[in-house]
Amino acid sequence: MESRLIVIAIGGNSLIEDSRHVTVSAQYEAASKTAAHIARLIKEGNRVVIVHGNGPQVGYILLRAEYARKILHAVPLDSCVADTQGAIGYQLQRALDNELGKLGLKKDVATVVTQVLVDDRDPSFSNPTKPIGSFMQKEEAEYHRQNDGWSVVEDAGRGWRRVVASPKPLEIIESGTVEKLLANDCVVIAAGGGGIPVVREADGSLTGREAVVDKDLAAALLARKIKADLFVISTAVERVCLNYNKPDEKKLGTITVSEAEEYMAQGHFAPGSMLPKIQAVTDFVRSSGNMGLITDPTHLYDALYSDAGTKIVLG
């Protein structure tokens, strides 16, 4: 079969199968299931870069820090992203090594702690809307606003939450490192959690920012930079749907960028769910001319080599 360079974006929630069981071992078991499907693609000769989400995991770090704030220092958000890149990268490395071994393959798997360039002038910094962390009482939220400079909002009567900027990713700082690893036949895990947001100062130095970069947009940017043949977003559903969970639900097979843009304009996709995934894939397809794909982990192989999943093409 044809060998391709594939960037696969998997959600942080894909490591959590049951919200009542979120231990490290349970997350590893979930990672192993996704790794088994990716290993089948690697066995076919494909080169693979994996980008993972980290939303729940960052939330856990922030919650631990909240409980320990009277005895330990706070953890900046850029460091939380770096922490989860290492921890989730380790889980995926180990899982892939084990699953590839079952298939009789030996491949080096490497995690790249990845910075992503953003712009301080991005509008999201003046209007942060991305909720992170757990719910708080008003008094607790006010404490953080005054003492830590947090932006906090009330969330539909459920409590208060911290909100941060979600700026557009402009450059993958370590993309060259990813390319060198691929050239040496490594499976690469990079840009975890959308990457660590950094800005470049006037003197050329990099400085971290308290922000969250959308994982799918960062993955699409990386896919364009390394000239991937295929960009895949692995999510909770086998196919993208119109009128999702309604009596007239329609599953989409192969659609063009123009059709995807029309569906977005009609409001078919939720802003906090499928919409950014469709936007990321269509951006990749439009700029590269290559195919994009959205499916769930179980159907990754069949989506590439059969008719599963939703494929987006230039048209």
To the query of whether residue 215 is one of the catalytic residues in this protein, the response is: yes
- 3-class DSSP state for residue 276? helix
Given the residues 11, 46, 54, 130, the one annotated as active site: 130
Given the residues 193, 277, 292, 311, the one annotated as active site: 277
Give the pLDDT mean for 154-181.
93
Residue with tokens 């999510």: 235
Domain limits at 8? 1-116+168-234
Alpha carbons 276 and 271: distance in angstroms, whole number: 7
To the query of whether residue 225 is one of the catalytic residues in this protein, the response is: no
224 and 252 part of one domain: no
Answer yes or no: are the C-beta atoms of 239 and 253 closer than 8 Å.
yes
To the query of whether residue 33 is one of the catalytic residues in this protein, the response is: no
Mean pLDDT in the chain? 92
To the query of whether residue 12 is one of the catalytic residues in this protein, the response is: yes
CATH of the domain at 213: 3.40.1160.10
45 and 78 part of one domain: yes
5 and 150 part of one domain: no
143 and 24 part of one domain: no
151 and 30 part of one domain: no
Tell me: pLDDT of 13 over 70. Answer: no
222 and 268 part of one domain: no
Model confidence at 292, pLDDT cuts 50, 70, 90, reads very high
To the query of whether residue 13 is one of the catalytic residues in this protein, the response is: yes
Given the residues 215, 290, 309, 311, the one annotated as active site: 215
Token pair for residue 195?
A: 């990457």
Torsion of CA 236, 19, 130, 296, to 10 degrees: -10
Question: Helices (H) and strands (E) in the chain — how many of each?
Answer: 9, 17
Given the residues 11, 12, 133, 192, the one annotated as active site: 12
Model confidence at 1, pLDDT cuts 50, 70, 90, reads low
Taking the model in full, what pTM does it have? 0.92
